Amino acid sequence: MRKQVVIIGGGPAGLLLACKLLRNGIDFVLIEQRTKEYVLSRIRAGVLESGTVNQLVEVGVGDRLKAEGQTHDGVYISTSDGFFHVNFKKLVNKTITVYGQTEITRDMYDALESWGANLIFEAKGVDLIDFTSDSPKVFYQKDGVTHEIQSDLIIGCDGFHGISKSKLSDDSDNGFSAQLPIGWLGILSETPPLKDELVYSRSDRGFALASMRSQCLSRYYIQVALSDLPENWSDEAFWHELKHRFPAGLVENLVMGPSIEKSIAPLRAYVSKSMSRGRLLLCGDAAHIVPPTGAKGLNLAASDVHYAFEAITGFFRDNDQTGLENYSTKALLRVWKSMRFSWWMTQMFHTIPDRNPFEEKIMASELSHLQDSIAMQKVFSENYTGLPY
């Protein structure tokens, strides 16, 4: 098989790029190692920046998002003393949209299938070679048969555990990373959300977040030790702990119910030194992982795709390689700014075991500064709603 582009990975990054290429007549194949059902069952992101929403709408997959996504003007922030609201709309005239990653992924798969896109599922043993030459190749196995695809470009959208990331350098140390000794225990429950908008909480017992997917589907998280396991937490224990991480006045009307999903996500940070090598470009979690505080992961995948698409069209339309050469520098600039924000929010909201009492005081003071200063709230709003591309 010969294609202009091979996309490896069918998560949000790979799917968004596929939609863009298809709409612009660039011939591609997307190969995903799992089944579609498996990809759709992963409960992850919930908050979209306007840049992400705009891209989805522009590419023609925004109808359900526009109809069912909830626009939020701000977020609530709760402290040990009470809570306050940061109003993005008023401060920076921007909003966010609450719409699940599962739904975006479903919308993009539905659209791509109806447009007749070339999608290959359950591709095993994926490997890529010759990407520093003009004719890179991708191999995969399906139903016991090995396939070879020759292409002009390979776009690695295969997440943090994918193969593409390992191809970027010859040594194993390809990036900058930090691991926190904590994770987020998350549950999904068919109950109305705590409030009309998200509530981030810093408490003496650790971080908590009240999020949502719709008016009858809530997503809650509490900070736990990295070594903890979901099976250690009954629903009762989860709700009990959650209630103790918000001020009493805020949770008196909390509606509790059985969890329909329960999992722990580690809090880690990783940024690749480079996001490209020759004819191989990385997008999304394949190139970086941000801690979930601030909801930047999926949104960064979308901004990477925006830059990658510019480079790809420049290459095929104008026969110009400059975009490919500049892709990594351009994308990394925005990645590091989002990482800075996520890292700062993570440090400010969590109690981190190896931090000393002085450092805890400084972080509590960051939060009270945010509460008191309109200038700080403006900076927060600008970052939370998404920096420009």
Q: Which residues bind ligand PHB (CB under 6 A)?
A: 45-47, 198, 211, 219, 292-295
Q: How far apart are CA 206 and CA 352, in angstroms?
A: 8
Helix (H) or strand (E) run with residue 57 in it: helix 50-58
130, amino acid identity? D
Binding at 101: pick from ligand RFL, ligand PHB, none (beta carbon under 5-8 Å per type): ligand RFL
Site string for ligand RFL, 196-235 (x = CB under 6 A): ----------------------------------------
97, amino acid identity? T
Site string for ligand RFL, 125-144 (x = CB under 6 A): -x------------------
Residue with Cβ nearer ligand RFL (80 or 274): 274
Binding at 386: pick from ligand RFL, ligand PHB, none (beta carbon under 5-8 Å per type): none
Residue with Cβ nearer ligand PHB (223 or 276): 223
* Torsion on CA atoms 105, 107, 110, 113, rounded to nearest 10: -70
Binding at 219: pick from ligand RFL, ligand PHB, none (beta carbon under 5-8 Å per type): ligand PHB
Q: How far apart are CA 37 and CA 42, in angstroms?
A: 9
Residue with Cβ nearer ligand PHB (47 or 363): 47
Tally of residues, the chain: 389
Residue with Cβ nearer ligand PHB (33 or 211): 211
Helix axes 12-23, 101-114, angle to 10 degrees: 30
Give ∠ CA 160-161-164 in degrees, rounded to 5. 80
Span near ligand RFL by CB under 6 A; candidates 151-159, 316-324, 335-343, 368-376: 151-159
Q: Which residue in 7, 18, 47, 180 binds ligand RFL (CB under 6 A)? A: 47
Q: How far apart are CA 103 and CA 223, in angstroms?
A: 26
Strands in 102-246 per DSSP E: 119-120, 124-129, 137-142, 145-156, 175-189, 199-201, 208-214, 217-225
What token pair was written down for 11? 């998560």
Active site (annotated) includes residue 369? no
What token pair was written down for 346? 């993570």
Residue with Cβ nearer ligand PHB (219 or 279): 219
Determine the residue with CB nearest ligand PHB.
46
Binding at 293: pick from ligand RFL, ligand PHB, none (beta carbon under 5-8 Å per type): ligand PHB
Binding at 3: pick from ligand RFL, ligand PHB, none (beta carbon under 5-8 Å per type): none
Give ∠ CA 269-274-279 in degrees, rounded to 5. 130
Residue with Cβ nearer ligand RFL (251 or 335): 335
Active site (annotated) includes residue 291? no
Active site (annotated) includes residue 165? no
Q: How far apart are CA 269 and CA 292, in angstroms?
A: 10
Q: How far apart are CA 15 and CA 113, in angstroms?
A: 11
Strands 276-277 and 280-282: antiparallel
Distance of CA 146 to the CA centre of its chain: 32
Active site (annotated) includes residue 140? no
Residues taking part in catalysis: 72, 200, 292, 296, 384
Residue ranges in contact with ligand RFL by CB under 6 A: 8-14, 31-34, 39, 44-47, 101, 123, 126, 157-159, 162-163, 184, 186, 265, 284-286, 292, 295-299, 301
